[in-house]
């Protein structure tokens, strides 16, 4: 029979139990530690001190990074004194030769610890670019392949994947809407998870209108640990109800074929 989209009695009990557990959890701290962000003045001061000791460095390291150049580069795209906004971000992407929805821009935002999609503050920019040793478009363009390659590392990929949830989430919200979730899942998992098309179809017919953090994180764990034929999936395991319902849908569709 075709998948009805209505969970089983077991799923209903599991959903209730998970909802109760979720309501008991306290709001977690954000992934950003703003107290660790340095002021621009401090950055310039530190850069000056390093310059004074640069005689001990090799010629390769002295080729180096200039905070003043980095700040000047930032202002090429900033519409205000302290941040790059969406219009400037589009120009920034164009100068790099990438589209705004290219996954490398998400990786870069993760590296800069950017808090808001479409915006880079001066502090985020200077701190992140200093770590990358980039103070110009030319230098950053050379880094793009290595940034993209970070996704081949399982732990780094997981970090970027989890960061994406907070990056696209509206301020003050604890979930992301389904359309945003589908876009981000396609960006991150296309070509990496064979069941992604079926999962996107499942989301299209889901009665849920949003995805919470636990569900988001478990999609990645599911994609990594569950076989394509779903033979090792445990319906009584600790998976979110959403994943139970997805498995039910796939199995129902397989029976109909």
Predicted confidence (pLDDT) per residue in 233-257, tens digit = 999 999 999 999 999 999 988 876 6
Domains defined for the chain, CATH in brackets: 34-152 (1.10.238.10), 155-256 (1.10.238.200)
Q: What span, in angstroms and rounded, lies between the C-alpha atoms of 168 and 183?
A: 10
pTM across the whole model: 0.79
- Calculate the alpha carbon distances from 11 to 48, 135, 147, 205, 221 in Å: 61, 53, 40, 17, 19
H or E element, residue 68? helix 67-75
Give me 251's structure tokens: 């199995």
pLDDT digits (tens, 9 = 90+) for 146-171: 999 999 999 999 999 999 999 999 98
All residue ranges of the chain with pLDDT < 70 are 1-63, 256-257
CA 55 to chain CA centroid, Å, is: 39
């Amino acid at each position: 029979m075709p998948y009805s989209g209505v969970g089983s009695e077991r799923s209903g009990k599991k959903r209730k139990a998970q909802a109760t557990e979720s309501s008991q959890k306290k709001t977690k701290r954000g992934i950003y530690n703003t107290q660790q962000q340095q002021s621009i003045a401090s950055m310039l001061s530190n850069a000056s001190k390093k310059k004074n000791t640069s005689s001990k460095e090799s010629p390769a390291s002295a080729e180096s990074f200039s905070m003043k150049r980095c700040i000047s580069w930032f202002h090429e795209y900033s519409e205000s004194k302290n941040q790059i906004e969406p219009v400037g971000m589009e120009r920034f992407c164009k100068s790099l030769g990438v589209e705004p929805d290219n996954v490398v821009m998400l990786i870069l935002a993760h590296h800069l610890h950017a808090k808001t999609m479409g915006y880079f503050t001066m502090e985020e920019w200077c701190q992140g670019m200093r770590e990358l040793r980039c103070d110009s478009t030319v230098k950053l363009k050379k880094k793009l392949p290595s940034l993209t390659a970070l996704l081949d590392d399982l732990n780094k990929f997981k970090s970027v994947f989890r960061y994406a949830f907070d990056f696209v989430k509206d301020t003050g919200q604890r979930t992301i809407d389904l359309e945003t979730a589908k876009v981000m899942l396609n960006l991150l998992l296309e070509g990496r998870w064979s069941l992604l098309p079926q999962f996107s179809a499942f989301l299209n017919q889901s009665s849920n209108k949003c995805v919470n953090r636990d569900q988001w994180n478990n999609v990645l764990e599911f994609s990594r640990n569950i076989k394509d034929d779903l033979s090792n999936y445990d319906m009584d395991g600790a998976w979110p109800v959403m994943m139970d319902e997805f498995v039910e849908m796939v199995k129902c569709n397989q029976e109909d074929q």
